[in-house]
């Protein structure tokens, strides 16, 4: 069974609009962490945002925010005021357990985002 599911292979958004990229996860571990990374066409992986399973508030980093719904096991990435440079692949990843005893990240298949001018 997939532990990280990203159901949107491709998404389009108009420049300056907001877009939500979906991510659902599956784990029985009460402690876990969720990450979003961006992979532009140049190929590098860029860390965007992190949400811990015990965090009370949704994470935010500039134009990125994470809509964390624990009961639904979803951790959707919201990008506000999209820019042309946001066009890239976006990956959701999960670490099961605490960072002290597990560092392995499990990855989704990614969502390709295209920002239209």
Instruction: Evaluate the CA torsion angle 34, 80, 59, 103 in order and state its sign.
Output: positive
Alpha carbon distance 31, 73 (integer Å) = 13
DSSP letter for 84, please: G
Helices assigned H by DSSP within the chain? none
Nearer to other proteins, 16 or 48 (CB): 48
Q: Which of 33, 68, 79, 82 binds other proteins (CB under 8 A)?
A: 33
Alpha carbon distance 113, 55 (integer Å) = 27
Nearer to other proteins, 41 or 117 (CB): 41
Q: How many residues does the chain have?
A: 117
Nearer to other proteins, 57 or 104 (CB): 104
When asked if residue 56 is in the footprint of other proteins (CB under 8 A), the reply is no
When asked if residue 106 is in the footprint of other proteins (CB under 8 A), the reply is yes
Nearer to other proteins, 12 or 47 (CB): 47
Note the residues at the interface with other proteins (CB under 8 A): 4, 33, 35, 37, 42-47, 50, 52, 91, 93, 95, 99, 102-110
């Amino acid at each position: 069974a997939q532990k990280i599911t990203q159901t949107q292979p491709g998404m389009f958004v108009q420049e300056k609009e907001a877009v939500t990229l979906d991510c659902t996860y599956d784990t029985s571990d009460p402690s876990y962490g969720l990450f979003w990374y961006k992979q532009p066409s140049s190929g590098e992986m860029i860390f965007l945002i992190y949400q811990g399973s015990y965090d009370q508030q949704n994470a935010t980093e500039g134009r990125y925010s994470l809509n964390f719904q624990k009961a639904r096991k979803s951790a959707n990435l919201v990008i506000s005021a999209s820019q042309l440079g946001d066009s890239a692949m976006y990956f959701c990843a999960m670490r099961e357990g605490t960072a002290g005893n597990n560092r392995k990240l499990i990855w989704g298949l990614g969502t390709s985002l295209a920002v239209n001018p």
